[in-house]
Structure 1
Amino acid sequence: MDFRAVYPSASKLKYIAQTLAKIASEIPFTANENGLTVKVLSPDKTTMIILTLPSLAFEEYECSKEVAFIVSADEFNRTVKRGSRNDMLELTLE
């Protein structure tokens, strides 16, 4: 497994996911031993979001090498919206 992260409160990511979905159709993630990073530029190049979640922000975090992956912003937003206050979000890349 190249990457695995468990975020303790899925509902806290709702606002982040909504914001990302408003400005981009795809979300490029980069994961390394230090944490998870997202850098998104809007299509009209007026808005840029740089989000860094350090590895300590996750309940569990494993990253054997630096990996990059792209997720549909709408799918990510829909998935995170389903989470309640007590749900965890697990991201895995093999």
Structure 2
Amino acid sequence: EFTYPPDWLVLQVPARPLLEGDTVTLRCCSWQDKSLTRVRFYRGDESMRFLSGIELSMSPLQLHQSSHYSCGAWMDSWLSQDWKESAPVTVTVHGELPTCHTSA
């Protein structure tokens, strides 16, 4: 029986609803905690930036930042480094939740 290898990289996004004005941190995680260098985050097909770390913090969140996000990085493997990319993850930014007002 053939089993496919796990995803080399996974982009972690908080499970809670993301609201306009919030701060959110996206984390690029590697399989078996392998060392990552020159991590790059993408919004859709657009490259955002190279980072020295594995986290991208966005604050304050705005509605237009709703998109598919992914990350890529150079990963150490044996005697070489390989470029790997995560599967895209949908990030949805919601407007402020309505508040209830009582009428007099």
- Normalised to the residue count of structure 1, the TM-score between the two structures is 0.32
- Normalised to the residue count of structure 2, the TM-score between the two structures is 0.30
Question: Whose radius of gyration is greater, 1 or 2?
Answer: 2
Structure ranking higher in strand proportion: 2
Structure with higher RCO (Cα < 8 A, 6+ apart): 1
